[in-house]
Amino acid sequence: MKVFRTFGIALLALLAWSTIASAQEPFTAGTWTKTKNAPASAVAHALLLNDGSVLVNSMFFETHSDPWYRLVPDSTGSYINGTWSNAGTLPSGYNPLYFGSSLLPSGQVVVIGGEYNNGGAVWTTLGALYNPKTKSWTSLAAPTGWTTVGDAQSIILPNGHLMQANCCTTQEAILTLTGTTPSWASTGTGKFDWNDEEGWTMLPGGDILTVDAYVGQSSCCKLGYQIYSPTTGAWTTPSNNTVVNLVDPSSLELGPMPLLPNGTVFAAGATTNNAIYTVSTGTWASAPKFGGTLDIADGPAAVLPNGNALFDTSPGVFNTGSKFFEWDGTTLNATSAPPNAGIDSSYVGGMVVLPTGQVLFTDFSSEVEIYTPASTTGCTGCAPTIKSVAATLTHGSKNNKISGTQFNGLTQGAYYGDDNQSSTNFPIVRITDSTGAIVYCATHSWLGGVATGTKLVSAQFDVPATIHTGAASLVVVTNGIASAAKSVTIN
């Protein structure tokens, strides 16, 4: 369990990508830019929605009717110059910090649990469902019999259903929604230890990787890990281990574990150790350290379009003085940091990969920053492809079908672990209309997964009534990487 913290202001291994990475061109740091407009209050958790806007919760950490906000990009597609709008408030009495969250294929958002609620450490079972169309929240019940959900992790399975953990037991459940009515089915037999402090990383093929934090066990940090199969609904425990200890023995925290396009997982430690898991062989090796006392005992990572991973570290568990790195597959390169880094600890950071290839960063302050990497060009073989879409689309039309490959990308995009999930492994449809304006269409009815390769997949999208008619250009974007464009006509 976490102790109360004082907040600061804050498959497919791609050989082509590996060849590019091995060339080791000189590293160029990215840049940070504050959004031109600021949200009305300090903000914490952020999620990309299916219409290209970003849903962000306000950060009062007390009994309060907290509004949520949406950052909407401007007509050029810029999030830096975007505007903030009100996204409604959670049901009365529910104001969580550190919770499970996922965008559903329907376009609705699930927020459930919370290590804190209204400023108190209660590991609540309260939850809510957000409808972006109506900007309204409704209550969502936890699985029957659960007495906690807390800061537990969630993930969208390859079949499109949400899998949710209970922080403080070995329980997991899969959600089915009929309208706003939930039903939960138990899953996850064979889980070794409590889910608390652990994160879930989806692997190519749909299995889920977790490193055991051994919460509540008599002996700590045995370097164990487990794999969940959506097909069997069971966890298995491989005979090998993570090689180095990634779990802080006092807090039992872990760091983020991003899957990279080259088919490896970089597991950042809450100790000064890091490790690499190679998916194709199921083996672990030690990885370079961030240096000194730097670790990620809770904290974000994001996979950039070029295949690098951006990490937010800090010196020792929950201490301040964040430093940022990009991992290029061989080297941890120190990169630039946002203005509040000196007073931030890694745990206050949150990252979301934007459709522009940039990364939105929050840190419990009202200053929202955008990281622009040196290159926003997608790595070779990483882009989605469009196989079919209607050549003529009607403005205001619903449920237009689009099909292609790699609509779920090769990774989940952003990672944290428990406390915070901001995955972007779903398709976004973006149209440049006849005036040159960037228009996002609400995309829905997709499935989950990562690295689906040549498998033909599909989604549906709704064309806004406000779009200009005439010749237009359409792309699918996943994890900030756009497909080749298709010419369409809006009538």
What would the pLDDT profile of 375-394 be if each residue is shown by its tens digit?
999 999 999 999 999 999 99
Residue 8 lies in a domain: no
For residues 382 and 81, what is the distance between their CA atoms, to the nearest angstrom? Answer: 28
pLDDT at 222: 67
> What is the chain's length?
491
Q: Which of 372, 406, 436 is the last residue of a domain?
A: 372
Residue 380 lies in a domain: no
Stretch 141-167: mean pLDDT, rounded? 98
| Per-residue model confidence as pLDDT tens digits over 83-98 | 999 999 999 999 999 9
Tokens representing 44?
């914490």
Percentage of the chain exceeding pLDDT 70: 92
Residue 347 lies in a domain: yes
User: Residue 243 above 60 pLDDT?
Assistant: yes
Residue 379 lies in a domain: no
Tokens 């969630």 correspond to 154
For residues 81 and 241, what is the distance between their CA atoms, to the nearest angstrom? Answer: 46
Percentage of the chain exceeding pLDDT 90: 89
CA atoms within 13 Å, Cβ hemisphere of 190: 13
Of 16 and 261, the one with more pLDDT: 261
pLDDT at 435: 98
For residues 460 and 427, what is the distance between their CA atoms, to the nearest angstrom? Answer: 10
| 392 and 368 share one domain | no
pLDDT at 219: 54
Neighbouring residues of 446: CB distance < 8 A, sequence distance ≥ 6: 105, 160, 407, 408, 426, 427, 457, 458, 459
Residue span of the structural domain in which 45 resides: 15-372
Identify the CA nearest to 391 among candidates 378, 400, 399.
400
User: Residue 121 above 90 pLDDT?
Assistant: yes
| 276 and 421 share one domain | no
pLDDT at 67: 86
| 55 and 137 share one domain | yes
For residues 50 and 429, what is the distance between their CA atoms, to the nearest angstrom? Answer: 9
Residue 1 lies in a domain: no
Stretch 100-118: mean pLDDT, rounded? 96
User: Residue 443 above 50 pLDDT?
Assistant: yes
| 90 and 159 share one domain | yes
**Domain count within the chain:** 2
Stretch 320-328: mean pLDDT, rounded? 98
- The 3-state DSSP class for residue 69 equals strand
User: Residue 242 above 80 pLDDT?
Assistant: yes
Residue 227 lies in a domain: yes
User: Residue 12 above 60 pLDDT?
Assistant: no
Neighbouring residues of 23: CB distance < 8 A, sequence distance ≥ 6: none
| 366 and 400 share one domain | no
pLDDT at 16: 36
Residue 215 lies in a domain: yes
| 312 and 441 share one domain | no
| 396 and 363 share one domain | no
| 431 and 286 share one domain | no
User: Residue 221 above 70 pLDDT?
Assistant: no
| 319 and 273 share one domain | yes
Q: Which of 372, 393, 426 is the last residue of a domain?
A: 372
User: Residue 447 above 70 pLDDT?
Assistant: yes
For residues 195 and 153, what is the distance between their CA atoms, to the nearest angstrom? Answer: 8
| 360 and 262 share one domain | yes
| 130 and 278 share one domain | yes
Contact between residue 426 and residue 481 where contact means Cβ atoms under 8 Å apart: no
For residues 478 and 491, what is the distance between their CA atoms, to the nearest angstrom? Answer: 26
User: Domain of 89: which CATH number?
Assistant: 2.130.10.80
| Per-residue model confidence as pLDDT tens digits over 229-240 | 999 999 999 999
For residues 57 and 64, what is the distance between their CA atoms, to the nearest angstrom? Answer: 12
User: Domain of 422: which CATH number?
Assistant: 2.60.40
Tokens representing 254?
């872990």
Q: Which of 344, 372, 400 is the last residue of a domain?
A: 372
Instruction: Name the pTM for this structure.
Output: 0.94
| 460 and 409 share one domain | yes
Residue 189 lies in a domain: yes
